[in-house]
Amino acid sequence: MIIGGGEDRTDDKEVLQKFIALAGGVTQPIIVITAASKVPEDVWAMYETAFAALGVENVTHVSISSRAEADDDMLAHKVAQARGVFMTGGDQKRLVTFLGGTQLERAMRRAYSDNGACIAGTSAGASGMCTHMLAEGRADLAPEKGAVRLGAGLGFVSRVIIDQHFSQRHRLNRLLSAIAQSPFLLGAGIDEDTALIVQGGGIEVAGHGSVTVVDCRQSETNIADVAAGAVPQMLDVRLHLLPSGSRFSSADDAGPLADFIHYLTDRTLEHEHR
């Protein structure tokens, strides 16, 4: 469950309700990881209140501030038993630095594969789920060569770059900058209070916004030849808009979205790129 940040925590809480349902309901054990944040207790307080209001009975805060903490045996065992793991916002580089390659990360994978857990990330937690993570950068007025930097993420999602707070922070140019330089990848920009749900062989969009998919694999661009900071020419860029309620399955004739769905749902790609 990949959330674009800013999910409602006070009113209908639609995205959080969907997470709880995918985790098996209010009685199931849920872990909230605040490792991306420099103010983990403040972030935890918001989610503790929101989950309590939704009737969640068993939710545990995991505050990680070092890789040594993420390699704790008892903590890894607890996370592996969870039915829902929720990574909050903050800084995705901080999240990956503390979790990547640790027992805690491996425990999240066991929770997913062995226990059917829902693995969720919001804002920085969403970006950090990728194999190729959008680490930093901005392109406010137009795509620019070198405007963004990719890094290695946690690898739950392969061959798709995730950007968050997408419409609210006008990040289309930033995502175009990333995809133009790495056309092997597809881009997914997720609005606030919106979730891209990957389950089985299909995808679903939930919440109050949309998911924007950017595909430059067939495009023509001179980005390799222009100077750093220049605006590249980009022809035949494909863009798809998936509003809330959109559902697609790999079993359907998904047309231009077929590869996007395949990349998100094929777990062999995840292992291939780890």
Active-site positions read: 123, 165, 192
**For tokens 């969907």, what's the residue?**
18
- Is 32 buried (19+), middle (13-18) or exposed (0-12) by CB count in 10 A? buried
Residue-by-residue DSSP string for 214-264: EE-TT-EE-TTTSPTTPPPPEES-EEEEEETT-EEETTS--GGGHHHHHHH
Strands 186-190 and 160-164: parallel
Answer yes or no: are the C-beta atoms of 164 and 4 closer than 8 Å. Answer: yes
Give the phi and the psi of residue 167 in degrees, each rounded to 5. Answer: -70, -40
Contact indicator for 229, 43 with CB cutoff of 8 Å: no
Could you list the beta-strand ranges (E) of 1-93: 2-3, 30-33, 59-62, 84-87
As a whole number of angstroms, the distance between CA 9 and CA 32 comes to 14
Residue 149: Cβ within 10 Å count: 12
Long-range contacts of 59-62 (CB under 8 A, 24+ apart): 59/29, 59/30, 59/31, 59/32, 60/29, 60/30, 60/31, 60/32, 61/32, 61/34, 62/31, 62/32, 62/33, 62/34, 62/35, 62/104
